[in-house]
Amino acid sequence: MAALVVVRGPNVGARYELKDESFLIGRNPSCHLVIPSPAVSREHAEIFRRGPDEYYIKDLDSRNKTVVNGHTLDPQVPVRLRDKDEIRICDFRFQFLEGRPPKPLPEEFRPEEEDEGEETGGSTVMGRLAVKEESSYLLLQAQPADKLQMLLEISNTLSRTLEVEKLLPQVLESLFKVFRQADRAFLVMPDEHRRRWVVRARKCRREKDEETARPSRAILEECVRSGEAFLCEDASAASQFRGSESIADFLIRSVICAPLRSPDGEILGVIQLDTQDRTRLFTQEDLQLLVAVCNQAALALGNARLHEERVARERLEREMEFARQVQAVLLPTELPRLAEYEFHTFYKAARYVGGDFYTVLPLPDGRWVLAVGDVAGKGVAAALLMARMTADVRYCVLTQPAPELAMAMLNQSLHQAGLADRFVTLALGVLDTRAHRLTLVNAGHLPPILRRNSNDRIEEIASGDDIGLPIGVVTDASYTACQVSLQPGDVVYLFSDGVLDATSAGGEHFGRDRILHAIRTAPPASAAQGARHLIKLLEQHCAGNPHQHDDITLLVLGRRVTASA
């Protein structure tokens, strides 16, 4: 399989297999290959496949371009990749390696218990019957009264069972009541990845045989490949199954086999019944009855699965709601009320729980710590790391004399934790309310924006070369502190990239220009009014698109024009 290998950058030597038709490279955590650098665009480049083994790369209108073998790609123009081509994105380098698709497996159906010899051509299968849901009623009408009564009882029994693990043995138990000539019965189903088929239930007339009993792969393969139920009066003599060791080992004579099909035609499993008695053979009527039972069993199995999925979904929703409540406790419930400064926050997770976080903490010397962070990824994993970062920020700023040292300590702690492919962007600030000075350190985060009240000038803080690597990328990263003086009426906006990437119904991002416009047109000299104005414009932009893909976090700090009482 074709792959990219990291030549320069974090995780040198790491291999990324190009399994999908499209492979995105960029800063966005949803990309297949995430490059945690502010110089890299959120979706920087795409590698895609044409045909079985042709791969192309194109630059996605990135800010700093994509280079292949020293040649800068034109935006949106695909270029064919060859073996050992070098791809450069900013300071990161990768090598493309061609790979041939793996040969298909010789068997499309592999029960877990058995590995048999190959089959030979020809078939002496005595009868086949297509399995269709709508045929159940006709099959029921064709059965003798006693078997019809038994079939109705089976249907009633199965319909009352809503747990899959309890349902499967009940199916075989019911079949043994109908097919008294059967010596063995098996229900085989695919695993959750549909890579192997395993026996989920088995039953033998002699209980001592159940421990060693196994179905015939050759028989099951025949059923799965054809998608039809079939009857073989003497499997040991059938050329179709010549070479099958299990048929010989277990003295299988007559056999019937039928698939369990969902309403959309998917094979959910296979039932095999066989007998070792030459005088008690299965008939075409038995095959029709088995198909009717399989149709009822497939419906019951589908209902049981839907029930289990609903129960699991409800349990997950309860757990996620609890997680949301726990996460809400980790965020500040009240903001400090200071004579000369005011704070305002907004937080909205893309899912039940999110990876964004913010905090406002007092220091013993009267200064205040401000932080807005964004954990790579979303959902539970990001939320757990967010909980850790909330505690770590508090510890590091209390134990380190300067914010840049606290950031370095945070970085080392996260990197040593060994959380592969997890990193955090963080804007960390320390506010000195006496000197009216804000010190900011930026670890791969969007630069905070300052609006001056005296002249409405817009400034980025801790931007450009002052932006350090995200936390957790390398162990020895160093960071730079930037200081700004805050005059009466000045307002500082810290936000996560969820604000930048908030999407309209038409798929257009809110973007940096709209953020600057919102800050520039906000009521002056007020953190609360400035934050509300930005959020109002953001919500208007996103109207009609309730499904945002990233958490949205905003922390606004403002120095009052006149001190409050």
- Strands 33-34 and 22-26, bridge-based pairing: parallel
| Tokens coding 273 | 């019944």
DSSP E strands, 363-500: 368-375, 424-432, 437-443, 449-451, 458-460, 467-468, 481-485, 491-495
Give the whole-angstrom CA distance, residue 552 versus residue 549.
10
| pLDDT score, position 150 | 65
Average pLDDT value for residue range 27-36 = 88
Cβ neighbors of 64 (< 8 A, separation 6 or more) are 39, 40, 41, 89, 90
Checking if the pLDDT of 535 tops 80, the result is yes
Q: Which CATH superfamily is domain 127-306 in?
A: GAF domain (3.30.450.40)
Distances (CA, A) of 241 to 22, 120, 238, 473: 43, 7, 6, 58
| pLDDT score, position 454 | 94
Least confident of 21-25, 90-94, 400-404: 90-94
Q: Could you report the per-residue pLDDT of 305-317, keeping only the tens digit for each?
A: 787 788 888 887 7
Buried b (16+ CB within 10 A) or exposed e, 498-533: bbbbbbeeeeeebeeebbeebbeebebbbbebbbbb
Q: Could you report the per-residue pLDDT of 158-208, keeping only the tens digit for each?
A: 666 677 778 788 888 888 888 888 898 999 988 777 678 888 889 998 888
Checking if the pLDDT of 231 tops 50, the result is yes
Let me know: does 178 contact 289? Beta carbons within 8 Å.
yes
| pLDDT score, position 301 | 80
| pLDDT score, position 149 | 66
| pLDDT score, position 157 | 65
Average pLDDT value for residue range 291-296 = 82
| pLDDT score, position 238 | 60
The 3-class SS string of 219-245 reads HHHHHHHHCEEEEECCHHHCHHHCCCH
List the domain boundaries for the chain. Answer: 3-97, 127-306, 331-559
The average confidence (pLDDT) of the chain is: 83
Q: Could you report the per-residue pLDDT of 411-450, keeping only the tens digit for each?
A: 999 888 876 567 899 999 999 999 999 999 999 999 999 9
Checking if the pLDDT of 123 tops 60, the result is no
Q: How confident is the model at residue 89 (pLDDT cuts 50, 70, 90)?
A: very high
Give the whole-angstrom CA distance, residue 519 versus residue 433.
23
| pLDDT score, position 420 | 59
| Residue type at 511 in one-letter notation | G
Q: Could you report the per-residue pLDDT of 254-287, keeping only the tens digit for each?
A: 889 999 888 777 888 899 998 887 778 888 888 8
Q: What is the torsional sign of CA 402, 407, 412, 417?
A: positive
| pLDDT score, position 548 | 73
| Fold observed for domain 3-97 | Tumour Suppressor Smad4 (2.60.200)
Q: How confident is the model at residue 115 (pLDDT cuts 50, 70, 90)?
A: very low
Cβ neighbors of 435 (< 8 A, separation 6 or more) are none
| pLDDT score, position 181 | 86
Helix H or strand E encompassing 540? helix 527-542
| pLDDT score, position 408 | 95
152 alpha carbon, distance to own chain's centre? 43
262 alpha carbon, distance to own chain's centre? 26
Sheet with 267-274, strands from edge to edge, namely 127-130, 228-232, 255-261, 267-274, 184-190, 197-204
Give the whole-angstrom CA distance, residue 58 versus residue 66.
8
pTM above 0.95, yes or no: no
| Fold observed for domain 331-559 | Phosphatase 2c; domain 1 (3.60.40)
Checking if the pLDDT of 121 tops 50, the result is no
Q: How confident is the model at residue 116 (pLDDT cuts 50, 70, 90)?
A: very low
Checking if the pLDDT of 371 tops 70, the result is yes
Helix H or strand E encompassing 46? strand 45-50
Q: Angle at the Cα of 411 (from 29 to 404), degrees rounded to 5?
A: 120
Q: Could you report the per-residue pLDDT of 129-157, keeping only the tens digit for each?
A: 555 444 444 444 444 565 666 667 777 66
Q: Could you report the per-residue pLDDT of 453-494, keeping only the tens digit for each?
A: 999 999 999 999 999 999 998 889 999 999 999 999 999 999
Checking if the pLDDT of 68 tops 80, the result is yes
Average pLDDT value for residue range 29-55 = 89
